[in-house]
Structure 1
Amino acid sequence: MIPVQGYDGRQVAVLGLGRSGLATARALAAGGATPVVWDDSPRGRDMAEAEGWDVRDLTRSGAFAGIAALIVSPGIPHLYPSPNPVIAAAWAAGVPVDNDIGLFFRSWATDDWDGFDSPPRVIAVTGSNGKSTTSALIHHILVENGRPAQLAGNIGRGVLDLDPAHDGEVVVLELSSYQTDLARHMTPDVAVLTNISPDHLDRHAGPGGYFAAKRRLFAEGGPDRAVIGVDENEGLYLANQLVDDLSDDRLIRVSVTRKLTDGWCVFARKGFLSEYRRGKQVGAIDLRDVKGLPGAHNHQNACAAYAAVRTLGIGPKGIEVALHSYPGLPHRSQLVAERGGVRFVNDSKATNVDAAAKALQAFPAIRWICGGLQKEGGLDGLIPHLGAVKTAYVIGREAEAFALQLPGIETVVCGTMDVAVARASADAQPGEVVLLAPACASFDQYDSFAARGDDFTALVLAGA
């Protein structure tokens, strides 16, 4: 646990009592603060009472008297589409609003660090797609190369559940736009932007607000090194703002669409990763046989992770060996089984059009399981990437409407996962891939993308 610094002897309110909220209350108490907690759901309040916390209705008038700060869980809207009433009350009372990411950065460094030979580092990863894989891959490379490391944030452990730092340790944080948008303190040593595509637009009032939330990690965080995916205009814009010219080694540009040779850059073309520095190639890796990272989208993740760990002095050979032992993450291009020459791949995390499009480009012949709760913008972005699809097996409550948006390919309206897996398995030929890449949220039928992926995996393994 990371005891929160700066609130000793003061009351701090916590709104939202899921995993991160309860961890925040514990970390505040460990640092000498007195947590005052609230959740809109009775279940959350019951859990807090069972731990002995002071549960106080923060929606009541005068609830913020004597409160030093309000710490908000990431799933709670603070501005768009409308502020949560508790957050609005904190603003009106002049109480600072923060989240657990802000508390982590203000509390991570301690006096113990004075005795370390090498100061701990923080690598923070954000972006629309690939940030989980990139974060896990960075952590894997570090561990495989003998560097002490912890993984937290939007993946794995909550940030305040981390162990206190060790000499030379690296913490890898996956940060969503919900987390970067509100944190009052962000000071990573290395910050990574994988890519940008439309997502969470209601929460950020459009693409500009979404990009602004991501940009805060770099513009306000002031990292020593920035790794920026430059295959979209937002990445190009951000990279252009961070340095005066490409000779500045504080910036590493990453691409999977073109060759880069100026400055410090890492790119992948036709399955080969290359690192250039000041016009000279200094590293290369053949990614084609790395089983845990199939497709160009995963090659982008590999480039971003490679660049991040290069800033810490890990050599290309050590990175290459680690890439080949990377097992992949559940629900992200996860190879579930191979049967009769047919591979079954779980990419349930492909919850938007851009992520699904990248998954569809990773394999040559696909039996595609798709559908669910559609996000804004429709499916037009998928149309150019359907060439490898033999048949689409559509699930979800609006399966028929989804199927009508897929011109030129055979569609089978299945409705439920069990029907889709059975039909796709029966139709698939050797050399083909049965791919779950829904391009939609899961909440019409499942509690989460993970529950959806688990259902697919269980059905595949049962031989449905």
Structure 2
Amino acid sequence: MIPVRNMAGTRVAVLGLGRSGLATARALEAGGAVPVVWDDGAPARERAEAEGLEVLDLTRAKSWEGVSLLVTSPGIPHLYPRPHPAIAAAWAAGVPVDNDIGLFFRSFATDDWDGFATRPRVVAVTGSNGKSTTSALIHHVLAESGRPSQLAGNIGRGVLDLDPARDGEVVVLELSSYQTELARALTPDVAVFTNLSPDHLDRHGGLGGYFAAKRRLFAEGGPDRAVVGVDEDEGRYLANQMAEGAGDDRVIQVSSGQRLEGTAWAVFARKGFLAEWRRGRQVASVDLRDVAGLPGAHNHQNACAAWAVARSMGLGPKAIEAAMRSYPGLPHRSQRIAEAGGVAFVNDSKATNVDSAAKALLAFPRIRWICGGLEKEGGLGGLAPALGSVAKAYVIGREAAGFARQLAGIEAEVCTTMARAVERAMAEAQPGETVLLAPAAASFDQYDSFEKRGEDFVAQVRARLGAR
């Protein structure tokens, strides 16, 4: 646990009592603060009371007497599409609003660091797609290379649930736009921007607001080094904003698909080969095509970003390559779960938007595609360039028929349920094909989370393979 510093004796409100909210309340107590907590759900409030926390309805104006700070959980809107009533009440009472990320950056460094031989560092990763894989891969490479490391944020543990830093440790944080948009302190040593595609637009008031939330990590964070994916205009803009000129190697540009020139430090992948260039010459090259945990061009972009971070930490190319080859991948992200009769089965349930699904579709040569769910803004038009490898689509979700009608140019069967989609895809799949779950939609019409959806896919596949 990271005790929250400089809040001893103060009364601090915590809104939202999920994983990060409860960790925040405990960390506040550990630092001597007095947390008062609220959640809109009765079961969450009951769990908090069972832990001895004071539960107080923060939507009421009188609850704010004596409160010096509100810490809100990332899933709770504070501006768009409308502020949560408790946040509006905090504004009215003149109480500052922060989140656990802000508290972490204000509390992580301690006087104990004066005795360390090597100062701990923080790597923060944001972007639309690939940030979980990039974060986990950085953590894996560091750990395999003997560097102490912890992984937290939007993946795994809440940031305040981390252990206090050890000598030379690197903390890797995956940060969503929900986390970066509100944090009052953002001071990573290395900041990573993977890419940008339309997502969470209602929460941020449009694409510009969404990008602005990501950009805060760089513009307000002031990292010592920035690793920036430049395959979209937003990334190119950000790299230009961060660099003092073409010779500024504090900015490492990364790409999947294009050769990067005219920059002091670049890492890019083309046709499956990663290359690192510094000051006009190539200093490393790796063949990624047979790295099982990183299939496809989108994962090669993730590998480039992780490579750049590891190199900025002083790791050598051979050590990084060896660690990447042992990377097992993450559940629900291009996760190869089985192969039978020459047919591969891949779970990419995390492909919840059009861009991430398109990248998954481009990773395999011939696909039986399971897709559908709660459609996001913008429609499915962005999938068109990636549909050439799709032999047939099997559409799930409550609005499966409407989803299927948008898949012009390919055969699509309305299945509605995962069980039916897996049954039909397995019945028709031929050797050399891949049965791929890459929904291009949120899960909430049928599942509590993308993880539950992926687990259902895995269970259905394994049950049918076991029955053969």
TM-score class, shorter: over 0.9
The residue type equivalent to 1:385 in the other structure is A
- Tell me the equivalent position of 1:341: 342
**Structure 1: distance between partners of 2:142 and 2:352:** 29
CA distance in 2, matches of 1:356, 1:185: 33
Aligned to 1:314: 315
Aligned to 1:206: 206
Aligned residue in 1 for 2:21: 21
CA distance in 2, matches of 1:338, 1:435: 12
Partner of 1:156, secondary structure, is coil
* Residues 152 and 174, structure 2, Cα contact 8 Å, conserved in 1: yes
Distance 1:96 1:57 in 2: 17
8 Å CA contact 1:297–1:359 kept in 2: the answer is yes
3-state SS, counterpart of residue 24 of structure 2: helix
Flag structure 1 segments of 5+ consecutive residues without an equivalent. none
Check the 8 A contact 2:70/2:96 in 1, yes or no: yes
Q: CA contact under 8 A between 2:152 and 2:172: conserved in structure 1?
A: yes
| Matching residue of 2:36 | 36
SS at 2:426's partner residue? helix
CA positional deviation for 1:61: 2.1
Which letter maps to 2:446? Q
Distance 1:116 1:284 in 2: 34
Q: Is the 8 A contact 2:60 2:89 kept in 1?
A: no
Tell me the CA shift for residue 309 of structure 1: 1.0
After TM superposition, list the pairs within 5 Å mapping 1:357-368 onto structure 2.
357-368=358-369
Hey, what does 2:3 align to over in structure 1? Answer: 3
**In 1, distance between residues paired with 2:302 and 2:176?**
16
In the TM superposition, 1:125-136 aligns within 5 A as 125-136=125-136
TM-score, normalised with respect to structure 1? 0.99
1:59-116 C-alpha deviation (Å, 9 max, x unpaired): 1122111111000000000000001111011111111100000000000000000000
Q: Partners of 1:422 and 1:246 in 2: how far apart?
A: 54
Give SS of 2:430's match. Answer: coil
Amino acid at match of 1:358: K
Partner of 1:55: 55
Give the stretch that moved more between structures: 389-398 or 88-97. Answer: 88-97
1:244 to partner: Cα distance: 1.8
Provide, for residues 92-142 of structure 1, a one-character-per-residue CA deviation record: whole Å limited to 9, x for no partner: 111110000000000000000000000000000000000000000000000
Q: CA deviation at 1:182?
A: 0.5
Amino acid at match of 1:451: K
The alignment partner of 1:191 has SS state of: strand
CA distance in 1, matches of 2:117, 2:5: 23
Q: How does 1:408-447 map to 2 (within 5 A)?
A: 408-447=409-448
Shift of 1:306: 0.4
Q: Look up the match of 2:71.
A: 71
Could you tell me which amino acid in structure 1 is paired with residue 106 of structure 2? R
The letter for the 2-side match of 1:338 is E
1:295 aligns with 2:296: yes
The alpha-carbon deviation at position 40 of structure 1 amounts to 1.1
Q: Is the 8 A contact 2:395 2:416 kept in 1?
A: yes
C-alpha deviation, 1:307, in angstroms: 0.4
How far apart, in 1, do the equivalents of 2:160 and 2:360 lie? Answer: 33
Deviation at 1:257, TM superposition (A): 2.4
**Which residue matches 1:46?**
46
Secondary structure of the 2:457 match is: helix
The separation in 1 between residues aligned to 2:351 and 2:414, in whole angstroms, is 20
Q: Deviation above 4 Å: which 4+ runs of structure 1?
A: none
For 1:39 and 1:363, the matched residues in 2 are separated by 43
Are the counterparts in 2 of residues 246 and 264 from structure 1 also a CA contact under 8 Å? no
Q: CA deviation at 1:249?
A: 1.2
Deviation of 1:440 after TM superposition, in Å, equals 0.2
How far is the alpha carbon of 1:260 from its aligned partner?
A: 1.1
Q: Give the aligned partner of residue 452 of structure 2.
A: 451
Aligned ranges for residues 238-249 of structure 1 at < 5 Å? 238-249=238-249
Name stretches of at least 5 consecutive residues in structure 2 with no aligned partner: none
Aligned counterparts, 1:55-454, within 5 A: 55-261=55-261, 262-454=263-455
What code does the residue aligned with 1:241 have? Answer: Q
Residues of 1 paired with 2:229 and 2:355: CA distance?
A: 15
Which letter does structure 2 place at the counterpart of 1:119?
A: R
Q: CA deviation at 1:362?
A: 0.2
Residues matched between the structures, number: 464
Letter in 2 for 1:191: A
Aligned-partner SS, 1:179 = helix
Look up the SS of the partner of 2:412 in the other structure: strand
Q: Is the 8 A contact 2:10 2:34 kept in 1?
A: yes
Q: Secondary structure at the match of 1:329?
A: coil
What's the CA shift string for 1:308-328, capped at 9, x where partnerless?
111100011101001110000
Letter in 1 for 2:99: N
Shift of 1:296: 0.2
